[in-house]
Amino acid sequence: MSQPLVEVRNLRRSFGAIEAVRGLDFDIEPGQTVGFIGANGAGKTTAMRIMATLDAPDSGSVRIGGYDTLNHPREVRQLIGWMPDAYGTYSDTTVLEYLDFYARAYGFGAAQRRQRVDAVMEFANLGPLADRAMNQLSKGMAQRLCLGRTLLHDPRLLILDEPAAGLDPKARIEFKQLVRRLAGEGKTFFISSHILSELGEICDSLLFIDQGRIVHHGSADHLLNPASREAVVEVRLLEAPGALIQWIAARPGVTLVETIPCGARLRLEAGGPEALSALLRALIRDGFGVCEFRREGRKLEDAFVEMLAGGSSSTEPPAPPVL
């Protein structure tokens, strides 16, 4: 296994009597896209700000690319791109001037600066907006511009705090596509968001934080379809569902949820892939004309709420989760 790009160890941060972050431990491997999920006030932004060298922990450490964020903040800043939840705009400044200024601020010389600005504008499709004043941009355009600004110095790790907040569906799709393209190019992402379904689509792993502690880590798929969890299946037949209802009543581990036209919704106590496969095979073997067999999806939001309700008191993981 390669050296983790991010190593967070026993991170703690308090504001007066409020413990915002209480012993976070996790690693992020290079090239991963990791979602950071938690309710408002769970400690997401505090943890991200410490990672971005903008705040200092009370104890614990963060190493990025092998550099400690406290001892080597300048080296860390070269490795990261930080996109806060509320990004500012400058009055009397055009899109091109904004990017040009940040490219200067990152220390690029004239030729290299033009090259970087052009590349970023092309990537984020900002070309048509080059001469437009920043305060005339829509939220989606401004978000693309901010992502472009984050990419100017070609960072290895992008830390995005609520990047999709306030975007309309079209802008969200565009933004998601940009993230996917960058992830495909090998960039590492650490993204917090409240739009959990989108995080599930673009992230390799999810970190759930509650009251300053990590309460779950793993892939979205694992969270949505745990092997031990029961499943609800919708079965549609070519014929009337009367025989199916009798069949269900005689079959252990399967219960009827409701009948629907030409079918029924069934609950399987064991909802793993093997059990589902066995159920479908049994239906066909017993002569039912199955024309549709679909496991009902579970929303990430539901999983999140269920987990907070039942898992917030769970103990800290014994070892740092490697995502």
The residue within the footprint of another protein, chosen from 2, 40, 109, 274 (CB under 8 A), is: 109
Numbers of helices and strands, H then E, in the chain:
11, 14
Q: Which of 26, 36, 82, 208 binds another protein (CB under 8 A)?
A: 82
Element (H, E) at 188: strand 188-192
Question: Which H or E run includes 38?
Answer: strand 33-38
Please identify which residue in 10, 23, 30, 106 interacts with another protein, judged by CB under 8 A.
106
Choices 46-54, 136-144, 258-266, 292-300; region in contact with another protein by CB under 8 A: 46-54
From 2-10, 47-55, 213-221, 234-242, span contacting another protein (CB under 8 A) = 47-55
Q: Are 268 and 296 spatial neighbours (Cβ–Cβ below 8 Å)?
A: no
Here's the x/- map for another protein, 212-251, by CB under 8 A: it reads as: ----------------------------------------
The correct pick among 5, 8, 20, 80 for binding another protein (CB under 8 A) is 80
Does the protein bind another protein through residue 126 (CB under 8 A)?
no
Report DSSP letters for 220-250, one per residue.
HHHHHS-TTS-EEEEEEESS-SHHHHHHHHT
Nearest of 70, 24, 64, 30 to residue 215 by alpha carbon: 24
Under 8 Å between Cβ of 174 and 140? yes
Span interacting with another protein, options 3-11, 82-90, 167-175, 302-310, rule CB under 8 A = 82-90
Contact 206, 199 (CB under 8 A): yes
Size of the site for another protein (CB under 8 A): 39
Considering only residues 128 to 157 of the shown chain, the ones binding another protein according to CB under 8 A are 149, 153
Q: Is the dihedral of CA 68, 74, 77, 78 positive or negative?
A: negative
Question: Which residues contact another protein by CB under 8 A?
Answer: 52-56, 58, 68-74, 77, 80, 82, 84, 86-93, 97, 100-102, 104-107, 109-110, 113-114, 149, 153
